[in-house]
Amino acid sequence: KTPAPVGVFGPGWKAPSDIRLQLRDDGLILNDNGGRSIHFEPLLPGEAVYSRSESMWLVRGGKAAQPDGHTLARLWGALPPDIRLSPHLYLATNSAQGPWWILGWSERVPGAEDVLPAPLPPYRVLTGMADRFGRTLTYRREAAGDLAGEITGVTDGAGREFRLVLTTQAQRAEEARTSSLSSSDSSRPLSASAFPDTLPGTEYGPDRGIRLSAVWLMHDPAYPESLPAAPLVRYTYTEAGEL
């Protein structure tokens, strides 16, 4: 068991984006969003393995079909071919009805000293999801900057594109202090100690202070000229980074 990560909703909240798969010579370790570390044997392309203790399947891409009668045969067959056939992708599910969590790698901006093409990293992160009909969600992660590695865009199976607005603790602190200066209800400006620029580590581990603040619909093929003028949802957080 490993500490549950502090995700984009703050301490105590789970998000699928926190799932991570470690690739080691002696095995695979799936770190889920609840703090579990689930160990699997190394997999050959197309091979599937089941953890009875955690009720979790892990499958490596690289095979067009699972054997007839296999628990996951139908669910696997519904996946798009490019996902099924890639030996570099791993897929996890806890049900023969789905969904699949698609574990791949995120692009990053190469450094000046990097040798290109860069090798794939020794881990996989959530890059998408697929339901039992093969409909997918594709996640886009930031390649550089303070939000590098974080999911900031989603495209669904209908082609709709969503933008996820992430904020740092420092940005929220600055906004709170600015708001207190302009508020007629405030007798004095908000101090840095009242809304700090950084967050301390918790029992769950380090907290980068990155939080999901809003979700916008950016593109809808069915109604391209009728996009909402406001976010679909907003989230606010306390000075301690709690939802």
pTM of the model: 0.83
Residue 164 is predicted with a pLDDT of 97
221-236 residue pLDDT tens: 999 999 999 999 999 9
| Cis geometry, peptide bond prior to residue 99 (ω within 30 degrees of 0) | yes
Q: Residue 149 pLDDT > 90, yes or no?
A: no
**Three-class secondary structure of residue 75 per DSSP:** helix
- If we measure between CA atoms, which residue out of 106, 117, 82, 103 comes closest to residue 22? 103
Torsional sign, CA 82, 19, 243, 186: negative
Classify 198 as helix, strand or coil: coil
Could you read off the pLDDT of 35-86 as tens digits, one per residue? 788 999 999 999 999 999 999 999 999 999 999 999 999 999 999 999 999 9
Query: Would you list the domain boundaries of the chain?
Result: 16-107+118-234
Place of tokens 């909240």: 13
CA atoms of 140 and 150, how far apart (whole Å): 8
Q: Note the pLDDT of residue 14.
A: 81
Provide mean pLDDT across the span 184-209: 70
Q: Which helix (H) or strand (E) holds 83?
A: helix 81-84
pLDDT at 107: 64
Rg (CA), the chain: 21
